[in-house]
Structure 1
Amino acid sequence: MTTAKSADAFVEFDHVQKSYDGEALVVKDLNLSLPKGEFLTMLGPSGSGKTTCLMMLAGFETATHGEIRLDGREINNIPPHKRGIGMVFQNYALFPHMTVAENLSFPLEVRKMGKSDREAKVKRALDMVQMGEFGNRRPVQLSGGQQQRIALARALVFDPELVLMDEPLGALDKQLREHMQYEIKHLHESLGITVVYVTHDQSEALTMSDRVAVFDDGRIQQLAPPDDLYERPENSFVAQFIGENNKLSGTVKSKSGNHVVVELPSGKTCTALAVNCGDVGSETLISVRPERIEIAAEDGPNTTTADVKELIYLGDHIRCRLTVHGNDEFIVKVPNAAGHKHLVVGEQTRVTWSPDDARALDPL
């Protein structure tokens, strides 16, 4: 997948490839541009190429082919410390022998900044992450969450226009991690900086980003805002990787306008949007989100019987595992609200979904 070059692109990858052994490509012909001020997340499983892309942008890895540009200037051969990029790592990378204030002052000293300016910038950066009282502590005296705040402050202290973050919240517990997601998002919005963020956590990507680039096998599978990515996946990998998803395999029986009728192994049919499927007779995979499925009171184009296998109470909704068209892992999220039918394990029910909520994609 490629993205068109943009006159206002701040960060650009132009036909970038990366190989470590001269044969296998870890990153395959990457074309990506983002404007100043965007929060872009590179999301994907381990080995998909996302971290390698970040490291090439930072200057810690060299592109095998292609150009990387920052604000219109090619930076392939510029060393990391001269790129003016802030960096936040998962392991914090703080100097243990320095105080918090000294850690923050270090990148300013490297830039030959005067003492009074350094002190003012360190104070501002610490206040920015609500750590103003901790300047004289050493990293070992801080909790994991506090250390991550300091690492973030150090990346911001010299006012970079671009900040790169590599799994920065991976070592934190769930509650703190979620809190820090919002803090980073709010900092990005208030400072107007450009952020490129790497994670394998899809909920983190959806929560924080303006756009998400989903990586697999060294390529961007889809680049889109979070809601587009979730509601309108372009292929089966993205549909399966982002959020919970029900899939039904079948064969294209007929096409009409934007829709296809798919024959399932049971002999029954399902109507879906023709998004990324072949002609009549070709195999396809239907994707439909659990919250788009309703317990059926009336017949519709995709109404079918379902066997209730498992019910899990989750407060605001009941997670129902059903058998539908031979799929024993078909999930429906039933709102825990007045008027919704109460299901019973072992009994049969009926479910339905709109053809526009089902997407016919490439077979896995």
Structure 2
Amino acid sequence: MADTADATPFVVFDRVQKSYDGETLVVKDLNLAIGKGEFLTMLGPSGSGKTTCLMMLAGFETATHGDIRLAGRPINQVPPHKRGIGMVFQNYALFPHMTVNENLAFPLQVRRMSRAETEAKVARALDMVQMRDFGGRRPAQLSGGQQQRIALARALVFEPDLVLMDEPLGALDKQLREHMQYEIKHIHQSLGVTVVYVTHDQSEALTMSDRIAVFNEGVIQQLAAPATLYEKPENSFVAQFIGENNKLHGIVRAAENGAVRVEIDGGGEGLALPVKASRPGERTMLSIRPERVTVGEGGLTGKVLELIYHGDHIRCRMNVLGHEDFIVKVPNTPAHAQLRVGEATAIGWRVEDCRALDPI
């Protein structure tokens, strides 16, 4: 995808709020700009406001306050069927009494396309999801994965500029879900269509997205590319929600050379980059990814509690300063074969791999 930073936004949420009862805001003062051709994922736990945002964009919910714009025009008062948006749901929402061909033809017939054009577009959409031979079947004759492919084809058949997907892979088994992630990403890249995708699955979001908006309690906690979210979380919620993360609480004792020295609860010290804590005396939570912890050197000691073989790496659970869920991912090499359950070893990390965040 081309860089959208300087492009005119295609989708804009401008100070959008949503309340169902007139008191509690499920979406709070949302400002979000999505570039044309971008794959943006709204990620967050249940009740975080992500699906509500998608439904407001689709037109199935109305914003309590603020404006939503599509291609520069306000759409708050535009009914869903006139927004020209493709939708893919978790439950597929296919018409059970229609064949696959009839399901795909329906949105084209609503738009009064000719029969010849309809047949051509249906065939092309089925080719796109590798389902050309299934046009005569009904949904009940298809597997879950096949139904999801048809639902995707139906959302794309009328060539919308924007496609919204609400947990579309949630009902599929792990292997098929991972396969469909790549399928959807490849289709997005080949068509250049703008996709807004909702999920609570952080690995799915990391795999598919150009950018991810991490929601919690109706507020975007961080909006960034997948690698930035993982490597540089801006607060403790994002660090805990995106990927696996070790946390050690403590107090900032000094700031030196662009880092902070933290006295960790239970004894010991660690250096980290100051993100949400930088002044001496401040409470903080150190955030360090399991694969960034070094074994055999460093200023802390970890007692090995459990070793789990994962093929390319060993997952080592340690007791570090009383924390019994400190995880280290050790590459599966002969150099690390000396780890033994019950034994202690030195551990540490590079300053740039540890972040001093807000204490939660």
If the length of structure 1 is used for normalisation, what is the TM-score? 0.96
Equivalent residue, structure 1, for 2:223: 223
Equivalent residue, structure 1, for 2:354: 358
Residue 264 of structure 1: how far off its partner (Å):
1.4
The answer to whether the 8 Å contact 1:6/1:33 transfers is no
Equivalent residue, structure 1, for 2:185: 185
Equivalent residue, structure 2, for 1:97: 97
Which sits farther off after the overlay, 248-257 or 39-48? 248-257
The one of 310, 314, 322 aligned to 2:310: 314
The one of 321, 335, 341 aligned to 1:339: 335
CA distance in 2: counterparts of 1:31 and 1:278, whole angstroms = 28
CA distance in 2: counterparts of 1:183 and 1:7, whole angstroms = 27
CA distance in 2: counterparts of 1:340 and 1:283, whole angstroms = 34
Measured against aligned partners, the alpha-carbon deviations of 1:208-254 in whole angstroms (never above 9, x if no partner) come to 00000000000000000000000000000000000100000001111
Measured against aligned partners, the alpha-carbon deviations of 1:255-291 in whole angstroms (never above 9, x if no partner) come to 1242111111223211100011152111100000000
CA distance in 1: counterparts of 2:231 and 2:350, whole angstroms = 14
Runs of at least 5 residues in structure 1 that lack an aligned partner in the other structure: none
Measured against aligned partners, the alpha-carbon deviations of 1:39-79 in whole angstroms (never above 9, x if no partner) come to 00000000000000000000000000000000000000000
Equivalent residue, structure 2, for 1:348: 344
Equivalent residue, structure 1, for 2:87: 87
Q: How does 1:235-254 map to 2 (within 5 A)?
A: 235-254=235-254
The answer to whether the 8 Å contact 1:51/1:198 transfers is yes
The answer to whether the 8 Å contact 2:99/2:136 transfers is yes
The answer to whether the 8 Å contact 2:248/2:285 transfers is yes
CA distance in 2: counterparts of 1:169 and 1:294, whole angstroms = 36
CA distance in 1: counterparts of 2:44 and 2:7, whole angstroms = 28
CA distance in 2: counterparts of 1:99 and 1:322, whole angstroms = 56
CA distance in 1: counterparts of 2:30 and 2:254, whole angstroms = 36
Equivalent residue, structure 1, for 2:275: 275
CA distance in 2: counterparts of 1:177 and 1:8, whole angstroms = 33
CA distance in 2: counterparts of 1:258 and 1:223, whole angstroms = 24
CA distance in 1: counterparts of 2:278 and 2:289, whole angstroms = 22
Residue 337 of structure 1: how far off its partner (Å):
1.4
Equivalent residue, structure 2, for 1:265: 265
The answer to whether the 8 Å contact 1:5/1:33 transfers is no
CA distance in 2: counterparts of 1:46 and 1:319, whole angstroms = 29
What is the RMSD of the two structures over their aligned residues, measured on CA atoms?
A: 1.2
CA distance in 1: counterparts of 2:106 and 2:114, whole angstroms = 12
Letter in 2 for 1:332: V
Identity, % of aligned positions:
71
The answer to whether the 8 Å contact 2:267/2:321 transfers is no
CA distance in 2: counterparts of 1:361 and 1:210, whole angstroms = 25
CA distance in 1: counterparts of 2:337 and 2:145, whole angstroms = 44
Q: How does 1:75-154 map to 2 (within 5 A)?
A: 75-154=75-154
CA distance in 2: counterparts of 1:28 and 1:291, whole angstroms = 35
Letter in 1 for 2:345: T
The answer to whether the 8 Å contact 1:295/1:341 transfers is no
- Partner of 2:252, secondary structure, is strand
CA distance in 2: counterparts of 1:194 and 1:258, whole angstroms = 40
Equivalent residue, structure 2, for 1:67: 67
The answer to whether the 8 Å contact 1:212/1:223 transfers is yes
CA distance in 2: counterparts of 1:278 and 1:81, whole angstroms = 51
- Partner of 1:243, secondary structure, is coil
Residue 305 of structure 1: how far off its partner (Å):
1.2
Letter in 2 for 1:43: L
Equivalent residue, structure 2, for 1:18: 18
- Partner of 2:326, secondary structure, is strand
The answer to whether the 8 Å contact 2:302/2:345 transfers is yes
CA distance in 2: counterparts of 1:7 and 1:140, whole angstroms = 44
The answer to whether the 8 Å contact 2:248/2:265 transfers is no
CA 1:242–1:38 in structure 2 vs 1: closer, same or farther (change >3 Å)? same
CA distance in 2: counterparts of 1:258 and 1:164, whole angstroms = 42
Letter in 1 for 2:346: R
Which sits farther off after the overlay, 261-270 or 68-77? 261-270
Letter in 1 for 2:339: L
